[in-house]
Amino acid sequence: MYIPATLKLVRYYRTTYKCPACTEGYHLDQNSYKFVKSSVPPALIPHSPASPSVAAWCIYQKYSLSLPLYRQEKDWLQFGVELSRTTIANWIINCVDRYFIHVYGFFHRELLKRGFLMADETRVQVLKEPERRAQSQSCMWLVRSGEDGLPPIILFGYTETRAKYHIERFLEGYGGGYLETDGYQGYNNLKNIRRCCCWAHYPRSIIIPEVSLHVA
């Protein structure tokens, strides 16, 4: 049995109280005029109707299901909600700036405490970047913890180039350990790191000499 999702509009009414005795002479001394307000649950984003569950659903659809925002906009319309893709994008950006950046920083610090890491990078194309052509190749780095029996940590990092100093900056403060990568030279000579080869990439780097076969 499939039960479709439902939406609920939750309204919070905040009562404001004032003391008549304290309001006397307000026109003379504004500091004596005080309000007492009832408490309400803190907003996920100030001055925004977005609830944590709605914002989390938009982020999940975008980054786990790869559902573009313009399709989410149409999906919300099926529920009778006019929610523009611009609003959804602003919600995601606000959540990153207010919450996720701190979570990312925590896991980054924990990742650098591990003794064995794995890294890889791939080229990506980003449209409408400031002062860059649409054909420009950017880079998405991935660094994860090895199979050390602890909960895995997987972090992504975006940079505009594939230059070596990006991974140097990301791994700054690594307490010394092993780093497993492919054959990209950008991982060479990193400080306090013992580089390991990936067995999946190792056969590609083997040079097989040309052999002449002679049939007797």
Q: Which domains does the chain have, with CATH numbers?
A: 16-107 (no CATH), 112-204 (3.30.420.10)
Average pLDDT, the chain: 86
The pLDDT confidence band at residue 23, using thresholds 50, 70 and 90, is low
Check: CB of residue 153 under 8 Å from CB of residue 146.
Answer: no
Q: Which residue has the higher pLDDT, 191 or 64?
A: 64
Cβ neighbours of residue 37 closer than 8 Å, sequence gap 6 or more = 14, 15, 16, 17
What is the CB neighbour count within 10 angstroms for residue 63? 10
In whole angstroms, how far apart are CA 97 and each of 29, 88, 117? 39, 14, 27
Question: Which residue, among 141, 117, 110, has the nearest Cα to 193 in the 3D structure?
Answer: 117
Confidence of residue 22 (pLDDT cuts 50, 70, 90): low
What is the three-state SS of the chain? CCCCCCCCCCCCCCCEEECCCCCCCCCCCHHHCCEEECCCCCCCCCCCCCCHHHHHHHHHHHHCCCCCHHHHHHHHHHCCCCCCHHHHHHHHHHHHHHHHHHHHHHHHHHHCCCCEEEEEEEEEECCCCCCCCCCCEEEEEEEEECCCCCCCCEEEEEECCCCHHHHHHHCCCCCCEEEEECCCHHHCCCCCEEEEECCCCHHHHCCCCCCCCCCC
Model pLDDT for residues 125-178, shown as the tens digit of each residue: 888 888 888 888 899 999 999 888 899 999 999 999 999 999 999 999 887 789
**Tens-digit pLDDT profile for residues 69-110:** 999 999 999 988 999 999 999 999 999 999 999 999 999 999
Q: Are 96 and 44 in contact (CB under 8 A)?
A: no
Residue 2's identity, in one-letter code, is Y
pTM reported for the whole predicted model: 0.77
What is the mean pLDDT of the segment spanning 106-122?
Answer: 94
